[in-house]
Amino acid sequence: MWEYTDKVKELFLNPRNAGVIEDADGVGEVGSMACGDALKLCLKVNDEGVIEDARFQTFGCASAIASASALTEMLKGKTVEEAEKITNQEIADYLGGLPKEKMHCSVLGQQALEKALAHYRGDPVKEEEEGEIVCECFGITDRQIEKAVRENNLTTLEEVTNYTKAGGGCETCHDRIREIIQAIRAERQPKVRPRMSNIQKIQLIEETLENEVRPSLRQDGGDIELVDVIGNRVLLSMRGACATCKASQQTMKNFVEAKLRELVWPEIDVEEVPS
Amino acid sequence: MKTVYLDNNATTRVAPEVIEAMTPYFGEYYGNPSSAHRFGGQVAARLKEARERVASLLGAEPGEILFTSCGTESDNTAVRSALALNPGKRHVVTSRVEHPAIRTLGQYLVEQGYEVTEIPVDGEGRLDMDRYADSLRPDTAVVTLMWANNETGVIFPVEEAAQMARDQDILFHTDAVQVVGKVPVRLKESAIDMLSLSGHKLHGPKGIGVLYVRKGTTFSPYLIGGHQEGNRRGGTENTPGIIGLGKACELAAANLDKENTEVRRLRDRLEQALTATIPSSLVNGGGEERLPNTSNISFESVEGEAILLMMDEFGICASSGSACTSGSLQPSHVLRAMGVPFTMAHGSIRFSLSVYTTEEEIDFVIEKTPPIVERLRSLSPFWDPAKATCTSG
């Protein structure tokens, strides 16, 4: 049984603001029944740009219903500008926290809010902003995953699944999700440094392998070792599960090389040598 | 608040007679049945009696009964024994709807390089016997099929399946934890080589299980240790658990008729009343061959966990195949294997009764459930009350 806070239980058993607004100024619908949860959010905004009324309809579990109800309570009386700043974490905080496996319920609320506000502003639906589907099972795009990773400072695949559901089905998208996490974490690292001695280069390569590469290889039971550095050529050897993995070539080029080019120096050419 | 317990496929109430039978063996009679002295010996005599009671319920011989710690241990022991004794055979046959005790073991075996064939089921949850027949091969080491499904109650024709395996000299194991005590079992007359049962599913205590191993079946122990259980399962016996299980089996034999008359009648009443009063509701696996105590009903466009929590407010205990309930993100593998659409699978509720279920309790559930579903549907963006159906999804 889930450990829900009293606030979650209260808003689940006696949800506030359930229903629709017939002449709503902003409507946002997210999720689907196939996914297991869905939310329709209706907003009534007055001439001063203040949200006068907010109502929801939810298909989902107790925490999905409570999150939607909490969101409507938070929205009432706020200006549109204030509403835009609401994050999924604030929805979860309003409820006194959610079990980590249920954080996606708060993300669903935030996504519905975003759509409802876009609808209110009359923004055209921008296809390119929707991103490309990463998780086929739940229809989650790279944009949605990136947003969740950034806003909640997520570092592992498991956290991404808890927050977005992405990767919770057939699991074939796990590598892609790890790449997204890595890419965002890399943004936060200091950029390319000027002129280094060979010793410095080797140290920086080692450091990058240790912090940025090994953690995700180890999740799959693999490892990597630096063999030599000759000019721009960086010779590496795969260990453990990676050594026998058919995809190791791809991992070398797409992941390891990209990482080293980004964080060490941009002309690096990675070569895999037998262990 | 009174508890209305309709989750008996998860676990059952320990019968008061069982508790009474067990209690002295926690306290006063704590002796080790292996000891030479009479103080231990008197416990050994009670274990012998318990073994006879279990054997009697299964239509087996006492020497064919091994006590284990749970159904999962029995399942693991059976399958691993078959594989250990047939190192040249690397193929295992099972079904798509097994309990995690077998399902996860199957996944592990695949990682270890075994080939595992999972036989599919149809929309009613019935095993595809043609596919089963085709799956048996000279390199098949063991077949393991559940006798009845824990989520839907659908019964597989395991006696027929066992005979087909025997005809090709393949060992046959069945996970029968949901069946024993609800359906007559006559192992002597069957071709089943190994069978698992679990104490707490038939009003016995938790922490005790049984593996039946047919006389003459070669066997490789899983727990290596002392001489207990005829050198087939090391470890000092769980004496109160074994004695309690013996009593539970004796009671189960006496209640077998009641399961198939009274419990079945209450289950049918509950099922008919709920599907009649709640629009867009459907029984999953509701065919003839089904456990008398189980009903799995899907309520379209509501989510199972939400139903369970609202029922919980009235003290009603049931379970759900919805994703949210388990913490996974996909609904039950059993319902998916049956091809139940996600829109229905998310709203599935399993009611499982027992001989302790009363008419009043069923009345109470029949009264409380429809408003809960209606209330949740009124919150749902997919429910169109005018049409009393789902509008999209």
Residue type, B331: P
Do residue A36 and residue B306 have CB atoms under 8 angstroms apart? Answer: no
Which among A39, A59, A101 is the nearest to B303, CB-wise? A59
A140-144, A213-217, B162-166, B285-289, range with greatest mean pLDDT: B162-166
**C-alpha–C-alpha distance, residues A101 and B352, integer Å:** 27
Does position B325 have pLDDT exceeding 90, yes or no? no
| Min distance B353 CA to chain A CA atoms (Å) | 20
Comparing A72-81, A204-213, A248-257, B241-250, which segment has the lowest mean pLDDT?
A248-257
Question: Two tokens at A86?
Answer: 């609401």
> Per CATH, is A6-121 categorized as 3.90.1010.10?
yes
Architecture of domain A132-187: Orthogonal Bundle (1.10)
Which among A34, A57, A62 is the nearest to B381, CB-wise? A57
Does position A115 have pLDDT exceeding 60, yes or no? yes
| Min distance A235 CA to chain B CA atoms (Å) | 32
The H or E element that residue A229 is part of is: strand A222-230
Residues of A marked active site are found at 35, 105
Please tell me which residue, A205 or B74, carries the higher pLDDT value.
B74
List C-alpha distances in Å: B131 to B119, B120, B134, B140, B321: 7, 8, 5, 14, 26
Is residue B326 very low, low, confident or very high in pLDDT (cuts 50, 70, 90)? low
Interface of B with A in 248-277 (CB under 8 A): none
Please tell me which residue, A246 or B68, carries the higher pLDDT value.
B68
In terms of C-beta density within 10 A (0-12 exposed, 13-18 middle, 19 or more buried), how is residue A46 classed?
A: exposed
Instruction: State which residue of chain A sits closest to B373, comparing Cα positions.
Output: A59
Angle between helices A157-164 and A142-152 (to 10 degrees): 110
List C-alpha distances in Å: B125 to B149, B165, B334: 9, 21, 8
Do residue B328 and residue A65 have CB atoms under 8 angstroms apart? Answer: no
Do residue B379 and residue A101 have CB atoms under 8 angstroms apart? Answer: no
> Per CATH, is B4-10+256-380 categorized as 3.90.1150.10?
yes
Do residue B380 and residue A57 have CB atoms under 8 angstroms apart? Answer: yes
Q: Does A169 contact chain B (CB < 8 Å)?
A: yes
Question: Two tokens at B367?
Answer: 């009264």
The interface pTM score, or ipTM, of the predicted complex is 0.85
State the sign of the Cα–Cα–Cα–Cα dihedral B319, B323, B324, B327.
positive
Which among A34, A39, A168 is the nearest to B343, CB-wise? A34
Residues 6+ apart with CB under 8 A from B373: B278, B281, B299, B302, B307
DSSP 8-state symbol, B15 = P
Do residue A59 and residue B390 have CB atoms under 8 angstroms apart? Answer: no
State the sign of the Cα–Cα–Cα–Cα dihedral A240, A246, A249, A253.
negative
Q: Does A21 contact chain B (CB < 8 Å)?
A: no
Which among B313, B328, B330 is the nearest to A13, CB-wise? B313
Do residue A37 and residue B303 have CB atoms under 8 angstroms apart? Answer: yes
Place of tokens 């390199």: B139
Residues 6+ apart with CB under 8 A from B73: B209, B211, B222
Which among B310, B380, B393 is the nearest to A58, CB-wise? B380
Does position B118 have pLDDT exceeding 50, yes or no? yes
Name which CATH class applies to B16-252.
alpha beta
Architecture of domain A198-272: 2-Layer Sandwich (3.30)
Q: What is the CA radius of gyration of chain A?
A: 23
Average pLDDT over every residue of B306-330: 85
Q: Name the catalytic one among B249, B317, B324, B390.
A: B324
Prediction pTM value: 0.81
The H or E element that residue B333 is part of is: helix B333-337
Ranges of each domain in chain B: 4-10+256-380, 16-252
Per-chain mean pLDDT for chain B? 94
Is residue B324 very low, low, confident or very high in pLDDT (cuts 50, 70, 90)? low
Portion of chain B with pLDDT greater than 70, in percent: 96
Is residue A189 very low, low, confident or very high in pLDDT (cuts 50, 70, 90)? low
Domain pair B4-10+256-380 / B16-252, same fold: no
Q: Does B114 contact chain A (CB < 8 Å)?
A: no
Does position B44 have pLDDT exceeding 80, yes or no? yes
Residue type, B74: S
Average pLDDT over every residue of A67-79: 95
Is residue B237 within 8 Å of residue B228, measured between CB atoms? yes
Which pLDDT does position A251 carry in this prediction?
81
| Min distance B280 CA to chain A CA atoms (Å) | 15
Chain region(s) in chain A for CATH 1.10.10.1100: 132-187
How many CA atoms are closer than 13 Å to the CA of A206, on its beta-carbon side? Answer: 8
The residues pairing with B94 across neighbouring beta strands, listed in sequence order, are: B118
Is residue A23 very low, low, confident or very high in pLDDT (cuts 50, 70, 90)? very high
Instruction: Please list every residue in chain A whose beta carbon sits closer than 8 Å to the beta carbon of residue B390.
Output: 33
End-to-end Cα separation, chain A, in angstroms: 48
Does position B95 have pLDDT exceeding 70, yes or no? yes
Phi, psi of A255 (to 5 degrees): -110, -60
Residue of A13, A14, A32, A61 to mutate, testing the B interface (most B Cβ within 10 Å of its Cβ): A61
Which pLDDT does position B392 carry in this prediction?
42
| Min distance A256 CA to chain B CA atoms (Å) | 27
In terms of C-beta density within 10 A (0-12 exposed, 13-18 middle, 19 or more buried), how is residue A258 classed?
A: middle
Which pLDDT does position A191 carry in this prediction?
55
| Min distance B334 CA to chain A CA atoms (Å) | 15
**C-alpha–C-alpha distance, residues B124 and B103, integer Å:** 20
Do residue B342 and residue A101 have CB atoms under 8 angstroms apart? Answer: no
**C-alpha–C-alpha distance, residues A33 and B64, integer Å:** 49
End-to-end Cα separation, chain B, in angstroms: 37
Q: Does B342 contact chain A (CB < 8 Å)?
A: yes
Question: Two tokens at B75?
Answer: 């399942």
**C-alpha–C-alpha distance, residues A159 and A211, integer Å:** 19
Convert the pLDDT of each residue in A142-166 to its tens digit. 988 998 898 888 988 888 988 888 8
**C-alpha–C-alpha distance, residues B336 and B225, integer Å:** 41
| Min distance B45 CA to chain A CA atoms (Å) | 41
Is residue A136 very low, low, confident or very high in pLDDT (cuts 50, 70, 90)? confident
Angle between helices B239-258 and B38-58 (to 10 degrees): 30
Please tell me which residue, A168 or B233, carries the higher pLDDT value.
B233
Residues 6+ apart with CB under 8 A from A258: none
Residue type, A229: V
Convert the pLDDT of each residue in B164-220 to its tens digit. 999 999 999 999 999 999 999 999 999 999 999 999 999 999 999 999 999 999 999
Instruction: State which residue of chain A sits closest to B376, comparing Cα positions.
Output: A59
Instruction: State which residue of chain A sits closest to B340, comparing Cα positions.
Output: A34
Is residue B148 very low, low, confident or very high in pLDDT (cuts 50, 70, 90)? very high
Does position A195 have pLDDT exceeding 80, yes or no? no
DSSP 8-state symbol, B143 = E
Which pLDDT does position B327 carry in this prediction?
61
**C-alpha–C-alpha distance, residues B209 and B72, integer Å:** 8
The residues pairing with A234 across neighbouring beta strands, listed in sequence order, are: A229, A270
Question: Two tokens at B153?
Answer: 């109650």
